[in-house]
Structure 1
Amino acid sequence: MKVMVRAVLLVLLSTPFLAVVESISMGTFFTGLFPKLFCKFQECCDDECVKLNLTGLKMDLDNKLFGQHIAKQVVLKAVNGFFTNPNPKKPLVLSLHGWTGTGKSLISKIIAENIYTNGMQSANVHLFISTVHFLHTKYLSDYKEQLQKWIRGNVSTCARSMFIFDEMDKMQTGLIDAIKPYLEHYDNIDGVVYRKAIFIFLSQAGGARITEIALDFWRRGIKREEIQLKDLESKLSIGVFNNKDSGFWHTSLIDCNVIDYFVPLLPLEYKHVKLCVKEELVARGYQADEKIITAVADEMTYFPEHEKIYPDKGCKTVAARVHYYL
């Protein structure tokens, strides 16, 4: 195949036709003439490189995300509904909330891996971390402009682009408002269509409220699996909106209803930590050693002080602790 590409290129170089397209990038040139051939060697934005693997998404959520029955249901329904709609009215916007180690980043990774051929490494997946990319308050106006340009440029290249904003609870006030027009119900903005893009916000804001509700259910002897989205969603959105450290403080994203789903992630329990350890061992090619699984889970610190139900770091430190034992 590579020999064929070289041969075609040599022929084109020897013809006057090249003069017509010399100002076009080679990638664009080949994509236009030989799209299928070009996409064998480089990631494209076509139905082969960007498509939803619904079966894979469901399996990964079931097998890798523990203790989050609400998040699984919402994410599966939201992503599937978005992709089966040939003409969505607006981008898909998910806002994931919960304490550290509960699975927010994992959900983003699972979604990316079941849409894009190259998963999180895809040129069409863009991760922004507040404490890395938007660190200095004095550059707020520059960040807004750069963020708009980045999103506009990448959606122009691939309508099915995904943008992930991590550490929203550390986001500068007002910064996220810069992208509000791209999340609205517009056919296009200056000729660019944003309606097929995906935006995911990750935040610890609301984590305390989610834990309070989960703990209340536990104290009343109600299984966590009986907690429903309606028990959390309205309280979560209000809590996030009123939280100065949420990244959504005084933003118009919430009151204009551009966020499609507030996705609550419940605090994990001891049994979920053990499942995380088991998954980590298997992922590294080891057998699920019950001694290691129990040892790692027992090392974690749990809260509240008296009940000690929830690990304070969720599954975030599991990988490092498993490495220690191996």
Structure 2
Amino acid sequence: MALRQISDAICDHLAQPEPARPLVLSLHGPPGVGKSMFHLLAAHALYNRQPDRPGLRCPGLDCAGYKVLYGMDYTADERAAQHSALRAALLDHVRHAPESLLVVEEYDKLDCPMRGFFRQLLENGPVANATLNKAIVVLESNLGYTELHDLLLRAGDRSKIAPEEAQRVLKDMVFSRWLAEGCEERSDTMKMVGMVSFFLPFFPLERRHIRQLFEMRLAERGAELQNGQLGALQWDEAVIDFLTEKVDFEGDFPIEGAKEVATLMTRYASRPLRLWAAAQQQQLAAQQQAAKKGGGSDGGSSSGGVAAAGRLRVADGGMELTVEPAKALS
């Protein structure tokens, strides 16, 4: 739901030669569901950068308009100095890159002075010779996890939730939160909330999504083996079951979203796959050496051997994974 709305909103905003206001997207959801990955991929697309390019600096010089603001919750002693420095840096960035992709992480933690500054920047157009009208502003927050979780449980299926329903839930939540903080008059709080173009839900992942992610990661590892001419990689459902069972769930929802997938792949799959790759390399080297001794290089063929397919499976005892030649398990 969120990604479809985001892509359409960005395309419509970019189609305007002189937009009257910035596109402001408020992303909500628990950790590990793809909010940060979204704006990184958006930066690659907006600045025409290939994510797999060696040495890509994005954020950085290769995506000069892409700026992510972290850690906006300051202690009282450092607040004034940090506000001044942040305000100066932000205005300088917008002056040099008016078509910015500006991300404010954990924006719900903005204190009253910083929220007032952002309201001024979003509402009044030019500030200190800088304007955000051509910019895309992403407000990112973990706030709303409980509301989205309950909404998903009530609907029974995320496909049954209308975008307007999710927007209303998130908008009301942010308004109530800001109003309770008492930073400004109620009418100003309403204006600030009204400046957000879209409130977008990143719903909690479900068990089936975690299984799909493990399948994708194993497919990536298999492609790496094949690209290195080290044979194909196979696995069965028991491997996906084994990895998925290691994830912490609350009901059908992973507590940390997708964050545990990479950790568990490293913990259980990386070592057996590296050992298998090393064994394949040694076997191929031996085959090539034997082919040379037998005169196999004279006929124009230099392969010297073919790597066997490997099959990842749950080892005996059920505590780890191992890789064996696929033919040994047939």
TM-score in terms of structure 1 length: 0.68
CA-CA distance at 1:143 after TM superposition: 2.5
Residue of 261, 274, 280 corresponding to 2:198: 261
Give the Cα separation in 2 of the matches to 1:113 and 1:181: 29
Give the Cα separation in 2 of the matches to 1:244 and 1:309: 31
Aligned to 1:208: 146
Q: Is the 8 A contact 1:242 1:249 kept in 2?
A: no
Pick which of 288-297 and 117-126 moved more.
288-297
Residue of 127, 135, 140 corresponding to 1:197: 135
- Match status 1:91 vs 2:32: no
Q: Structure 1 158/244 Cα, relative in aligned 2: closer, same or farther at 3 Å?
A: closer
Residue of 294, 301, 305 corresponding to 2:248: 301
Give the Cα separation in 2 of the matches to 1:288 and 1:259: 47
Give the Cα separation in 2 of the matches to 1:255 and 1:88: 19
Give the Cα separation in 1 of the matches to 2:111 and 2:80: 11
Aligned to 1:9: none
Secondary structure (helix, strand or coil) at the match of 1:120 reads: coil
Q: Is the 8 A contact 1:91 1:184 kept in 2?
A: no
Pairing 1:46-195 to 2, within 5 Å after superposition: 70-116=1-47, 117=49, 119-121=58-60, 122-130=63-71, 134-184=73-123, 186=125, 188-195=126-133
The residue type equivalent to 1:203 in the other structure is S
Give the Cα separation in 2 of the matches to 1:288 and 1:311: 26
CA-CA distance at 1:231 after TM superposition: 1.7
Residue of 159, 166, 169 corresponding to 1:232: 166
Aligned to 2:207: 270
Identity of aligned residues (%): 22
Residue of 263, 267, 270 corresponding to 1:324: 267
Give the Cα separation in 2 of the matches to 1:105 and 1:200: 10
Aligned to 1:29: none
Identify the structure with bigger relative contact order (alpha carbons < 8 Å, sequence gap 6+): 1
Q: Structure 1 245/119 Cα, relative in aligned 2: closer, same or farther at 3 Å?
A: farther
The superposition leaves residues 145-167 of structure 1 with CA deviations (integer Å, 9 ceiling, x where unpaired) of: 22221111011111112221112
CA-CA distance at 1:243 after TM superposition: 2.7
**How much is the aligned-residue C-alpha RMSD, in angstroms?**
2.6
TM-score in terms of structure 2 length: 0.67
Secondary structure (helix, strand or coil) at the match of 1:242 reads: helix
Count of residues paired in the alignment: 245
Secondary structure (helix, strand or coil) at the match of 2:59 reads: helix
CA-CA distance at 1:141 after TM superposition: 2.5
The residue type equivalent to 2:172 in the other structure is I
Give the Cα separation in 2 of the matches to 1:288 and 1:129: 41
Aligned to 1:24: none
Q: Structure 1 267/249 Cα, relative in aligned 2: closer, same or farther at 3 Å?
A: farther
Aligned to 1:279: 216
CA-CA distance at 1:112 after TM superposition: 1.0
CA-CA distance at 1:75 after TM superposition: 0.7
Aligned to 2:155: 217
Give the Cα separation in 1 of the matches to 2:95 and 2:144: 34
CA-CA distance at 1:281 after TM superposition: 3.9
